[in-house]
Amino acid sequence: MTLMNKSPLANVFTTSFTKVALAIFISTTLVACGGSSSDKKTSVEETVKPPVTTTPTTTPTTPPTTTPTSPESNDLGISVVPDNLNNTYSATLNFDRYTKVDTPNGGAIHILAQNEIMENQIVRARGILQHYLTDYPGSKYGADKSAVANKMADNGAILLLLNGVDDGTNAGAELDGQPLYYGEMQVEGHSWYITQNYEYRDASFEEILHLVHDYGIGVDQGDEFMGALPEYQADIRAAQVTAVSAKLWAWPAEQAGWLAELTVENSLSQEYLASVVDSYYGLWGAFDSEYGMWGMYIAKTRDDLATKDPQGAAIMANQFFHPYLTYNARIDDSFTGDFSLKFISSLSYSHHAQYLKDVTLTGSKSSNVVLNQFDNNITGNEGINTVIFSGQAAQYQITNENGEIKVQDLQDARDGMNTLTGIEKLQFADSTIEVSSL
């Protein structure tokens, strides 16, 4: 479920990049592998803003076997659209850039972007896809996600990053692919993210999850199960059935027509899981309602899940999805001040940022990072950057390993083990240490 964003488009984002390398990785040489993906649309309801349309899963086509010359990619792993895709995803339709996520079987999940999409939006979208496909050691269904990634490539999964908002005017949305629009892609540190402006609600996690669910995990009750995890889908389906019958999800009367449409399309489990995942990662914590997903899901935050939707909590607990975000979030270069990875109730964005682990400051403005309990990797920018710790300096072990600063909190469950690069100052509760003195 994604809504059209009604406000004017905001100012241009800046460049960002994320690297996650576990079960999958991003290649800077782009191997061609075509295909098609589901074509989900979005729309708006003027009152409670519930979703009103979803498109059923489509049958994927077989990727081509030819490998054309790969275009050169930039430092962010972004290139022009390769030859085997640019006839369909053409400049006439405003497609001008391409990136991908490589899969263990030698395939690729394609990401195509139109000409108004900023590079940091492309990189973040790719990072979220990588996050979903990164192995989660010790989990029931996610310890090795290679089968899910391979299925996505085999089934021809494509992510389309489209200009504007979903107002029905973008011809690119008619092509095979999961659409995600400029006006619904936030970037950490940008004003939309910092203010948690739901006029530009971040639909990236939802729409990219739909792609993973349809073409990787798999959806039951169709003509054919095309995914890799039928047992996990059975758990998701059971939780969705309970949520509908117990009026935990999509219970308002005005949702009856939408639920009927989803039933016909066999999209109920996908939309339900997206509501659970959004709340799990804090995307509705700042929303002005006691509920999540536009007021139609009983659990607004991760803490709500266990008590308000126990089966929803069960499909998240050590099953497939990491408890933190695995991608390295590049903080928009417009940001200045203290970016908090720790939840602070007065900072609306920290409902979501508390699940970040690794961040990179970009640009040249002096800005700082407040740590959370994870083992953080923090990279500075061209300005003066300070990392802010919770305790006194004597409570930490600090080492300098060829310019890479490691700071280990000696107190459990507080600041963790942190690796710092390009940082000028370490701020503790009782003192500030210049990194140059270490």
pLDDT tens, per residue, the chain with 438 residues? 433 333 333 333 333 333 333 333 344 333 333 333 334 333 333 333 444 333 334 334 443 333 445 678 898 999 999 999 999 999 999 999 999 999 999 999 999 999 999 999 999 999 999 999 999 999 999 999 999 999 999 999 999 999 999 999 999 999 999 999 999 999 999 999 999 999 999 999 999 999 999 999 999 999 999 999 999 999 999 999 999 999 999 999 999 999 999 999 999 999 999 999 999 999 999 999 999 999 999 999 999 999 999 999 999 999 999 999 999 999 999 999 999 999 999 999 999 999 999 999 999 999 999 999 999 999 999 999 999 999 999 999 999 998 899 999 999 999 999 999 999 999 999 999 999 999
Q: Give φ, ψ of 47 to 5 degrees.
A: -95, -75
267: which 2 tokens? 């999209």
- Distance CA(138)–CA(5), nearest Å, equals 39
- Distance CA(428)–CA(342), nearest Å, equals 15
Residue the block writes with tokens 């990194």: 435
Contact 256, 196 (CB under 8 A): no
Residue type, 19: K
In the prediction, which pLDDT does 205 show? 99
In the prediction, which pLDDT does 70 show? 63
Which regions of 115-254 does DSSP assign to beta strands (E)? 158-162, 178-181
Q: How many helices (H) and strands (E) would you count in the chain?
A: 10, 15
Contact 160, 173 (CB under 8 A): yes
Contact 133, 212 (CB under 8 A): yes
239 closest CA partner among 179, 294, 309: 309
In the prediction, which pLDDT does 21 show? 38
- Distance CA(1)–CA(415), nearest Å, equals 36
Q: What is the dihedral of CA 91, 85, 149, 166, to 10 degrees?
A: 30
Q: Give φ, ψ of 215 to 5 degrees.
A: -110, -5
In the prediction, which pLDDT does 403 show? 87
pTM for this one?
A: 0.84
Q: What is the dihedral of CA 284, 288, 291, 294, to 10 degrees?
A: -70
45 closest CA partner among 294, 240, 350: 294
In the prediction, which pLDDT does 71 show? 78
- Distance CA(99)–CA(158), nearest Å, equals 11
CA angle, corner 162, sides to 160 and 165, nearest 5?
135
- Distance CA(403)–CA(144), nearest Å, equals 34
Query: β-strand 396-401 against 404-409: which pairing, if any?
Result: antiparallel
- Distance CA(299)–CA(177), nearest Å, equals 30
Residue type, 258: W
Distances (CA, A) of 299 to 243, 247, 351: 11, 12, 14
- Distance CA(70)–CA(86), nearest Å, equals 12
Q: Give φ, ψ of 72 to 5 degrees.
A: -75, 135
Torsional sign, CA 408, 413, 414, 418: positive
- Distance CA(150)–CA(155), nearest Å, equals 8
Name 55's Cβ contacts closer than 8 Å, sequence gap at least 6.
38, 39, 40, 41, 265, 267
